Structure 1
């Protein structure tokens, strides 16, 4: 009987694989691109927002933190809702909400409205993005799924780099005197196009084993993230008041309570928000740690590089955005080649990507330290390009690896956990290594950058060795695993 069920399920997966076309994959990726880009596009616009709305330093921090915390806290819930109520339905509804929130951001008359709109933007992004990975996992099989997952990983990295580039271009263009507002308003026409096309070509899917909403787990998990990320993001600018330390201690307690509650729910036969058994799968337990580490270093790099170019080298928003262009171009080129190279060389391709990234970062640090303060953007182009090429390979491979062992009917939960760890890592990188940079910058910008990047290089070196613990791609991506809960 079990054999018959597995055969039937495999037949259904092969039949469904044709339901999502290559163009459908691109449309879903476009929908995911906007929310990811919006986390980074604001970095280069903060001086313009400050000048326009006369915002305080802590308010400017909240413009970024409000989005990031809402995004990270609700991602797993977004995956669960898509599994239960339909991924296309939730994708389209969340995209409408994201477009409206972007419009509210672009038209915000004051910083208070902007912060609230950013929180709504982050919440709708959290409902939208998990549907992309879950739809890939449910409708594609074998190499088609592997390629789509690699493209998603590439899209995430490209969106981060392009965010700062596009942000610099739009702010410098000062279209009709609107200064920073186009960085949000640009989402409106793009979002509408994606919405109209996705409604016609993206197949409607939902989990074959829908489960209830885990309200205790959802509340505890969101509270844990808020208690962790808010003080880490706001603490430095506010001088680390007592309540920031209290929240950090509370985050530890809430994390422990969340684990106990989720484990008890699973023992009762329920499917909690974050099933401990799912997190114990080899691809999840190992891959998620590596995604978190990679994202901490990546988020910190994007943040401190933007500050180094704008504050240290006194480049304007346009040149600050253009400085990252070599990295963006090679990240894109590497992402196109990554699926084929990973399929052929497996984990060795990821290790090679980590080594390339390590070499690029070391070269970039040497250029900045030796030539400071007379560093041209051209001098940084080659090391940035090498860094981007390495990042693309490592990023795509990690995303492809994490979901390898996840059962199809838990795709939404696995996707939500993956993106939550990625988003949390980006925020942690800014909050920790970014804070280290800000503290050291008054004593020398180049050495502050170098110190942060030495830590970043240590993370990348560990990843170069750690990829050996990941599942073998050639053995696990040729099929969609059928595992019952």
Structure 2
């Protein structure tokens, strides 16, 4: 689940050309492509494994490389758009996303695919921040509210399309290409959007924030030195380089914190400003967000693998089994603003509790019916998981950003989204490796049950800690 950075709006924005209905459709299509791609790959993982002979650890990297690159470069992408023009960066990001999608679809080896996925994540980090920035800079009043509502709906709908389209494309095995069309389909769509995007109005910030180059590099080193050995270490027998990277990680993290604090003291705007991180709404929200998104990322990876490798659903069946969750998430996320207006922060712990119920129901269902589990057996628990995530996820973003000063709204959104993507990758790294290890010793069913039990515990932690979240209505 991805969101993007809100860009600052200048007082002169009202004199810029407005966003036409065709322009709005264009930017929403640009937003949908990376979101669909984030979800579509889960359904194809076993097929990628069979074709490229990838280990589970490498499959984790196929998922996480995209998220890590996106997390590190998201804020940079937003600031580049403010400085050099949002339409220009939208076009640049879309060109790169189209080219890297082609590279993913043609990847001859698993290693090449991982590298292409990282490049695709970097392209998304240039593309996606411009969508909200363009909407903010070229609309106002009711028109802006309607555009932002459609943007939210696009995110939810893209999760549904990603599950169904991924399963259908892989199952179709077009011209014997297997999993490759899930990436190659982005090429003609990207080219069409590129033609349409040439008519978008240009906008840029009059006082753009600079790019925190050193902070960006240190964040990348911190994440890579932590996540890469966690994913690859067990499968490779923990060679010396994996231990060395784990040793480097805390020092890189400490250096990152030091650089961010120093830059802020000197009057700059760092990648993740410590002053924003210390705001009560942000600090408490991130404490809830880390276990929440780590649980969600690991669940999506492990569930997709188990459906096909353990239950032999096939890609289309796996997409169908994930669809009830995606539809429930989309439906509930559309209602979440009304629920928050009435019940405030209580929506998040209620959502977490529903996720716990869904995970327990899923655990009981799979253990009782294995290996004759059907999509209908799984549907009730998946609907509950979708409802819980729809309540908690969208509300969590709203709470974190509720007390961030208006002039720092883009920075706050960047902080939250960077945390989201990092936590998703961390969940895949830790629990994905746990799943792979126990699959070899205990079998797929018991490994799946173990991971779902851990995810349920994380959801319970979210339920408890979310009770201390501040009220976004105040």
TM-score when normalising by structure 2: 0.87
Contact residue 223 and residue 254 of structure 1 kept, 8 A: yes
Matched residue, 1:103: 102
CA-to-aligned-CA distance 1:398-427 (integer Å, 9 cap, x gap): 122222233444444333322221111111
Aligned to 1:168: 167
Cα distance in structure 2, aligned partners of 1:287 and 1:299: 18
**Residue equivalent to 1:211:** 209
Q: Which residue of 2 aligns with 1:388?
A: 386
Equivalence for 1:232: 230
CA spacing shift, 1:325–1:169, aligned 2, 3 Å: same
Mapping for residues 301-450 of structure 1, pairs under 5 Å: 301-441=299-439, 442-450=441-449
- The answer (yes or no) to whether the contact 1:80–1:213 under 8 Å persists in 2 is yes
Residue of structure 2 equivalent to 1:131: 130
Whole-angstrom CA distance in 1 between matches of 2:407 and 2:182: 37
CA separation in 2, counterparts of 1:21 and 1:470?
39
Q: CA deviation at 1:373?
A: 2.4
What is the correspondence of 1:269-308 to structure 2 with a 5 Å cutoff?
A: 269-308=267-306
Residues in 2 aligned to 1:385 and 1:455: alpha-carbon distance in whole angstroms = 20
1:141-198 deviation line (CA, Å, top 9, x unaligned)? 8998788778766755664564344222111101122211110011123333444444
Whole-angstrom distance in 1 between the partners of 2:470 and 2:10: 25
Q: For residues 452 and 416 of structure 1, do their structure 2 counterparts lie closer, same or farther at Cα, with a shift above 3 Å needed?
A: same
C-alpha distance in structure 2 between counterparts of 1:468 and 1:13, whole Å: 41
The whole-number CA distance in structure 2 between the counterparts of 1:103 and 1:270 is 38
C-alpha separation between the residues in 2 aligned to 1:353 and 1:147? 26
Note the alpha carbon deviations across 1:234-292, whole angstroms, 9 max, x for none. 22322222221221221111101111111111111222222111222233222233232
Say if 1:49 and 1:180, in contact at 8 Å, map to a contact too. yes
Q: Deviations over 1:30-61 (max 9, x none)?
A: 42332233234223323433444455666555
> CA offsets per residue over residues 347-393 of structure 1, 9 Å max, x none?
22333322222222221111112222222221111111121112111
1:262 equivalent in structure 2: 260
| Structure 2 residue 227 is the aligned partner of structure 1 residue 191 | no
User: Deviations for 1:65-97, whole angstroms, at most 9, x for unmatched residues?
Assistant: 433332222223223322332333222211111
Q: What displacement does 1:125 show?
A: 1.1
Conserved in 2, the CA contact under 8 Å of 1:153 and 1:395? Answer: no
Given that 2:9 and 2:137 are in contact with CA atoms closer than 8 Å, whether structure 1 keeps it comes out as no
- Equivalences, count: 466
Aligned counterparts of 1:43 and 1:24: Cα–Cα separation in 2: 31
- Aligned residues: CA RMSD: 3.2
Aligned to 2:240: 242
Counterparts in 2 of 1:399 and 1:190: CA distance versus 1, 3 Å: farther
Partner of 1:5: none
- TM-aligned CA distance change 1:343 to 1:300, over 3 Å: same
2:3 aligned residue = none
Deviation by residue 1:432-475 (Cα, 9 ceiling, x = unmatched): 11222222224143332222222222222232333343342323
- Name the SS of the counterpart of 1:474 in structure 2: coil
CA contact (8 A) 1:83 1:207 kept: yes
Between 1:184-193 and 1:400-409, the stretch displaced more is 400-409
Deviation, structure 1 residue 296: 0.4
In the alignment, the residues of structure 2 paired with residue 436 and residue 185 of structure 1 have an alpha-carbon distance, to the nearest angstrom, of 32
Contact 1:75 1:126 in 2 (8 A): yes
Structure 1: stretches of 5+ with no match in the other structure: 1-8, 476-485
Kindly indicate whether the alpha-carbon contact (under 8 Å) linking 1:48 and 1:179 is maintained by their aligned counterparts in 2: yes
Q: Give the gaps of 5 or more residues in structure 2.
A: 1-7
Secondary structure of 2:473 counterpart? helix
CA distance in 2, matches of 1:11, 1:72: 26
CA distance in 2, matches of 1:341, 1:160: 22
Query: What is the alpha-carbon distance in structure 2 between the residues aligned to residue 312 and residue 466 of structure 1?
Result: 34
Q: TM-score, normalised by structure 1?
A: 0.85
SS of equivalent to 2:402: coil
State the alpha-carbon separation in 2 of the partners of residues 474 and 238 from structure 1: 50
CA contact (8 A) 2:18 2:138 kept: yes
CA separation of 1:450/1:419 partners in 2, compared to 1, >3 Å: closer, same or farther?
same
Change (3 A) 1:240 1:22: farther
Asked whether the equivalents of residues 329 and 387 of structure 2 are also in contact (C-alpha less than 8 Å), the reply is yes
1:86-101 to structure 2, matched below 5 A, reads 86-101=85-100
